[in-house]
Structure 1
């Protein structure tokens, strides 16, 4: 693993732990991330050959901030509750776009980008689902906010009447659960024989 992939993965860890306290927040940020990064990749692909190398970073910062701000405004217009629930993590998509551009992800093969996006989306949704199930004892709490519904009387499916393990919805619980998932993946994955 080189330094660029370490930086890229470390920046993905912030929204992965910060937003996955509920399935609604995880799915919402995942959708916003996929839309913004794909639009950013298309726009930078069209601009990259027309820019001198010294101005590429500035152009990518400006483009990423613009696209992320537009996505934030559209999310706020669509569902204010959902957008407020995301907090600062939606704005971090701009930083992620700049890092992905700087490390050359958008110049790489489309299969590698699809693999990276799929892995990030799968991990976000899995962590969101598990943290909500274990932490709150619910499934789909406030998921209607993603569809622009303003009714707040539906709180998903309550699976455990007295709630769950509250630690799981907090940041330390997210790190613990992620560590357990990585350990399970390492144990499940067959070891290569040389």
Structure 2
């Protein structure tokens, strides 16, 4: 499993729970906390458990962490928790995917880079959706199809800016 799988699975919370910048920043913060704590707690367990027990412990730990974060969100910010709906529960899948993708190796830099990119994407989508829906009065931007369109535009912009030239050996000979 690689970063592309992590990005694909992480799209549901990004698209569904980023109608405003506040929702986006909350989802980013919850993701950073849950995945970071999950990696930290799983580090000593990886050496002591076999593969099946490690997977079971990872699932239980992810469910525990996300449930605690969700209950904390409901206790201190109930209106925000109700706006986010069930999307914070999907963070448990991200924890499991990070565990499976990064595995036994303690690649903290890779995990931190991927989490930072996810948080930046959440914030960018949330900010842009709120800006378009409130100031430009584009109601579609606040809905899920608008998020898909916006994400496609962000991806196209990224591909345009970070466009790499093909290697000369791939271009063929004349």
Instruction: Please give the TM-score of this superposition, normalised by the length of structure 2.
Output: 0.89
1:27-64 deviation per Cα after TM superposition (whole angstroms, max 9, x unaligned): 01111110111110000002111112121111100000
- Corresponding residue for 2:149? 176
How far does the alpha carbon of each residue in 1:77-106 deviate from its partner, in whole angstroms, 9 at most, with x for none? 111111111111100111111121122267
Aligned to 1:132: 130
Shifted more, 172-181 versus 49-58: the winner is: 49-58
Which residue of 1 is the match for residue 48 of structure 2?
A: 50
**How far apart in 2 are the matches of 1:8 and 1:97?**
10
Secondary structure of the residue aligned to 2:164 is coil
**Residue 76 (structure 2) aligns with:** 78
| Aligned counterparts of 1:18 and 1:105: Cα–Cα separation in 2 | 28
| Per-residue Cα deviation, 1:123-173 (whole angstroms, up to 9, x for no partner) | 100000000000122xxxxxxxxxxxxxxxxxxxxxx6xxx1000111110
- Separation in 1, partners of 2:3, 2:111: 13
Q: Secondary structure at 1:185's aligned position in 2?
A: helix
* C-alpha distance in structure 1 between counterparts of 2:73 and 2:162, whole Å: 38
If each structure's helix is expressed as a fraction of its own residues, which one has the higher value?
A: 2
Structure 1 stretches lacking a partner, 5+ long: 138-159
Q: Could you tell me how far apart the structure 2 residues matched to 1:13 and 1:105 are?
A: 22
C-alpha distance in 1, partners of 2:3/2:107? Answer: 16
The aligned counterpart of 1:147 is none
Whether contact under 8 Å (1:23, 1:128) holds in the other structure is yes
CA RMSD of aligned residues (A): 1.6
Match of 2:112 in 1: 114
For 2:124 and 2:32, how far apart are their aligned partners in 1?
Answer: 16
Alignment: residue pair count: 167
Runs of 4+ in 1 over 6 A off after TM superposition: none
Q: What corresponds to 2:160 in structure 1? A: 187
Q: Which has the higher contact order (CA 8 A, sep 6+)?
A: 2
The alignment's TM-score, normalised by the length of structure 1, stands at: 0.81
* 1:97 aligned onto 2:70: no
Question: Could you tell which deviates more after superposition, 90-99 or 5-14?
Answer: 5-14
